[in-house]
Amino acid sequence: MIFRSHLLSMILYAGLVSTVLSFLRRDDKKSRLKYGLVMFAIMAGGAILFGWLMYLFTL
């Protein structure tokens, strides 16, 4: 089955969502790129950070 890696699935998901949001929220090419990259970094980085945070509270 495709995408056994949850990390890859999450990264691709973050990439697609940030692309759509950047085209919705910004009008010119440069600000779209900047907004998209920031959104992607927040989503992907935030998920990894949150994952490690949950690791601290494993039973």
Alpha helices (runs of H) in the chain, residue ranges in sequence order: 6-25, 29-55
Q: Among 20, 57, 56, which Cα is nearest to 39's?
A: 20
Considering the complex, state which of residue 24 and residue 56 has its C-beta at the smaller distance from other proteins. 24
CA 2/CA 39 separation, integer angstroms: 25
35 counts as binding other proteins under rule CB under 8 A: no
54 counts as binding other proteins under rule CB under 8 A: no
Considering the complex, state which of residue 20 and residue 42 has its C-beta at the smaller distance from other proteins. 20
Q: Note the residues at the interface with other proteins (CB under 8 A).
A: 1-4, 6, 9-10, 12-13, 16-17, 19-21, 23-24, 27
